[in-house]
Chains A and B, each alone.
Chain A
């Protein structure tokens, strides 16, 4: 325990048990003989498929929207930046049902944008698009948070060097900045994926619930609980397993990032060299 007081270990064990015990308790309630049939029923497969598809799309949206946001927050300074950061992170602490109500008043038929979209022939209410919007809304802060932290940690030294050597801002971003924070970007994207997969409240409030269209796995679990608790427990276990895999992968990526720190220094100096070559080659002179 390397100098830590013994009581820290004891309290930590209680904390770990607090997380692990409910999962163990749930596993003890799984109806194993029926497990296969329960998780492969038509509605379960439809829900799992929909959840995976929408979560992949939401994660892609999180990367597209989240990377520029994180860059803006970590690399620039402007009036109202602190307010913007707080607002972007808001979905982390908001009850998802509140997010759902907010989305309803934005993209709903009578919402801020919904009526305009309706005129354009785009209907979001009760569609899979609504599910993706809800998931992206709650998952985006995870990506922004982890990426912004990584951007601040790696600092701007290499970017400054690349810039003085003549690299254009887009080149610096794509060849220096993003490769440096790639592990954080991947683990952030995985966390976003996990959050999107577990999204429930905003989807229920905003998107509705119809098999194959809007009823994701958490909604299916919530519904099955009404009549078939065994199915609900079996599906919960499936969701836990997927979450464990995702979180495990994400941890793996960030640990590799830690152990590769020395290595990345080397590869950076190589990269710096190539950055110097490139603009030189492109010079009109």
Chain B
């Protein structure tokens, strides 16, 4: 509910950025008061299953724990995979109450299939960064360096959200990469870089953050040309007749509010995610 109020405020004041920020802060304070109220009164209860993109693994694991702590009678079951895998699973009747996607395209697929109850809310964003092995042996400084002949650059295949973002940056910069591999997941790109097989790879800022010492991130200005937006929505199982999820719409809404609320936004920001 807090998030709904906040987004209305945001929409209502497109000009006064500072004022929106102040208002958001006030509302955020309101939400935390509301949440602590929840914790005392146990407004919601039961169990829900949340399907979330693989890049949200650590943040959503932490968020689920915090949500359960704030709402003692609840339990959040998590399932992580690539966004398109999750869409396939939900379409085939897997029990999901909430879906958090790494891109708007996969969320739209679920919407088109009539499997969402209510609208999707954007809760985070992610940009690409250059990942290199520790010490940056190839001496890469910016995006254009990745096109150097003989350099082993690894990217995501264009079919994936991270690959689509890579293509968008190539188009924006006019730099055409000649990757030695187009991997099937961002994890595979990271693996090729951290093992030293590749000289550089394009991954998300949050991936570098999570990888710790095993890779070094090199941010580049053109990354802003492709910002990936993460939407979250409640799943409506009635759409495919299979009856997804627990049917606990109230708890699903509470979890979505939690993710879009101050605790969720803090955890996401700590992991390197941008504002939605």
Whether A223 contacts B181 in the complex (CB less than 8 A), given A104-B195, A125-B152, comes out as no
Q: Are A204 and B159 in contact (CB under 8 A)?
A: no
Task: Tell me which residues across on chain B come within 8 A of A254, comparing CB atoms.
Answer: none
A226 near B: Cβ within 8 Å?
yes
Q: Are A126 and B197 in contact (CB under 8 A)?
A: yes
Task: Tell me which residues across on chain A come within 8 A of B180, comparing CB atoms.
Answer: 125-126, 208, 210
Main secondary structure of the interface of B (DSSP, over half): loop
A149 to B24, CA, bound (A): 73
B222 near A: Cβ within 8 Å?
no
Task: Tell me which residues across on chain A come within 8 A of B154, comparing CB atoms.
Answer: 208
Residue from the list B82, B159, B181, B191 in contact with A126, Cβ < 8 A: B181
Q: Are A209 and B182 in contact (CB under 8 A)?
A: yes
Contact with B along A174-191 (1 / 0, CB 8 A): 000000000000000000
Whether A223 contacts B197 in the complex (CB less than 8 A), given A209-B183, A209-B184, A210-B181, comes out as no
Q: In angstroms, how far is the closest chain A Cβ from the Cβ of B73?
A: 38
A214 near B: Cβ within 8 Å?
yes
A204 to B192, CA, bound (A): 10
B188 near A: Cβ within 8 Å?
yes
A152 near B: Cβ within 8 Å?
no
Q: Are A209 and B197 in contact (CB under 8 A)?
A: no
Q: Are A204 and B184 in contact (CB under 8 A)?
A: yes
Contact with A along B180-213 (1 / 0, CB 8 A): 1111100010011001111000000000000000
A133 near B: Cβ within 8 Å?
no
Whether A110 contacts B196 in the complex (CB less than 8 A), given A125-B152, A208-B183, comes out as yes
Q: Are A226 and B181 in contact (CB under 8 A)?
A: no
Q: Are B88 and A108 in contact (CB under 8 A)?
A: no
A125 to B195, CA, bound (A): 11
B253 near A: Cβ within 8 Å?
no
Task: Tell me which residues across on chain B come within 8 A of A219, comparing CB atoms.
Answer: 184
A43 to B197, CA, bound (A): 25
A216-248 CB contacts (< 8 Å) to partner B: 219, 222-229
From A208, A219, A227, residue with most partner B Cβ within 10 Å: A208
A205 to B196, CA, bound (A): 13
B residues whose Cβ falls under 8 Å from a Cβ of A: 82, 84-85, 88, 152, 154, 157, 159-160, 179-184, 188, 191-192, 195-198
